[in-house]
Amino acid sequence: MVLFLLDDSEIGKLLRSPSRPLFIATEFGNFQFIRELLLSCPDLIWKVDEQSRSIFDIAVIHRQEKIFKLLYDIGGYKDLITSYKNPSNCNMLHLAANLAPSNRLNIVSGAALQMQRELLWFKEVEKNMLPLYKEMKDSEGRTPQMLFTQEHKGLVESGEKWMKDTASSCMLVATLITTVMFAAIFTVPGGNNNDTGTPMFLKDKSFIIFSMSDALALFSSVTSILMFLSILTSRYAEEDFLESLPKRLIIGLTTLFFSIASMLLAFSASFFIVVGHQLAWIIIPIALTACVPVTLFAFLQFPLLADVMHSTYGSGIFSMERNERLY
């Protein structure tokens, strides 16, 4: 529903009692409706509900980033909006410190990525707060940072378990690849020359591909092991979930993917050296079959990798867009 569908009497009702349509729309993230409404009636940004919460406070509580970013379209007035306090003496940063509702928390999979998203929200709101309000205490004597630590204690523990389980599983695969690739270089396909000890197919293109892919698989898997080992031995402080742990996970998963792809390439080259000259027709189906595990790994892990990279290296959930000023 957009504003041009409303007549003057309906807009009047919104102005007199905005808490029902305005705040419900904010809670459910109806960005288009909220934006059109504010463009038509800019004074609605000052409306608060029965708990003295503005639409931006509601957006923070329910983690509606599109609506929260409208805060940047009201210029210097945002300092007044962010200074609102509820009866418990909680400001907007206190609201960001509370744990997100489960339906918004589960937008991303994995407790570690959920914790990263919560930290991104807290840091973004903190950037818009005046210094005085960052250390303001609520009615129970808690600063926003103290409240954040208290509210997210369980999520930190779940994130640590998720990270360690993921790292352990991936490190097992990387270790197996390292073992196989290290042994493969000493048992070269085609055997060695009895007189010189050099591989029989040393100058063959297939052997060169085998050697390079074997080395790449070995180095990639070792790098992956080191990354996952660093995840297992991390201190798991709150701040680690923002960049440190996600970056290690990205490097670990990426190098693991390359090690799997290189291992299968080495197998295909080795297979061609052994039987390719006698059964040339079998090379194509074997090569296509070797692509299946790589493709499966990419499809299964890409959504997770894309989420982590978008939050860590990309524009993130608070990427700025140029919009028409609201006020």
Q: Are 257 and 239 in contact (CB under 8 A)?
A: no
pLDDT confidence of residue 5: 45
Q: Is residue 65 part of a domain?
A: yes
If asked whether residues 223 and 278 sit together in one domain, one would say yes
> Is residue 178 scored above 50 in pLDDT?
yes
Q: Is residue 321 part of a domain?
A: no
Across 5-14, 117-126, 265-274, 316-325, which has the greatest mean pLDDT? 117-126
Q: Is residue 57 part of a domain?
A: yes
Query: How far, in Å, CA of 87 to CA of 104, rounded?
Result: 25
Please report which confidence band the pLDDT of residue 136 belongs to, taking 50, 70 and 90 as the band edges. Answer: very high
Q: Is residue 114 part of a domain?
A: yes
Q: Is residue 244 part of a domain?
A: yes
CB neighbours of 209 closer than 8 A, spacing ≥ 6?
265, 266, 269
**What are the backbone dihedrals phi and psi of residue 300, each rounded to the nearest 5 degrees, phi first?**
-75, -35
Across 48-57, 119-128, 263-272, which has the greatest mean pLDDT? 119-128
Q: Is residue 322 part of a domain?
A: no
As a whole number, mean pLDDT of residues 4-14 equals 48
pLDDT confidence of residue 172: 94
Number of residues that make up the chain: 327
The predicted-structure confidence for 212-266, as pLDDT tens digits, reads as follows 898 999 999 999 999 999 999 999 999 999 989 999 999 999 999 999 989 888 8
| Residue 215 structural domain | 155-312
If asked whether residues 132 and 162 sit together in one domain, one would say no
If asked whether residues 160 and 147 sit together in one domain, one would say no
Dihedral sign from CA coordinates of 139, 143, 146, 150: positive
If asked whether residues 135 and 164 sit together in one domain, one would say no
If asked whether residues 234 and 294 sit together in one domain, one would say yes
Q: Are 41 and 11 in contact (CB under 8 A)?
A: yes
If asked whether residues 205 and 293 sit together in one domain, one would say yes
> Is residue 294 scored above 70 in pLDDT?
yes
If asked whether residues 111 and 181 sit together in one domain, one would say no
If asked whether residues 131 and 49 sit together in one domain, one would say yes
Q: Number of structural domains, the chain?
A: 2
Q: Closest by alpha carbon to 158, among 104, 103, 99? A: 99
Token pair belonging to 290: 């070797």
- Can you give the CATH number for the domain in which 54 is found? 1.25.40.20
Q: Is residue 84 part of a domain?
A: yes
Across 41-45, 63-67, 186-190, 191-195, which has the greatest mean pLDDT? 63-67
pLDDT confidence of residue 190: 57
- Average pLDDT of the residues of the chain: 83
Please report which confidence band the pLDDT of residue 99 belongs to, taking 50, 70 and 90 as the band edges. Answer: very high
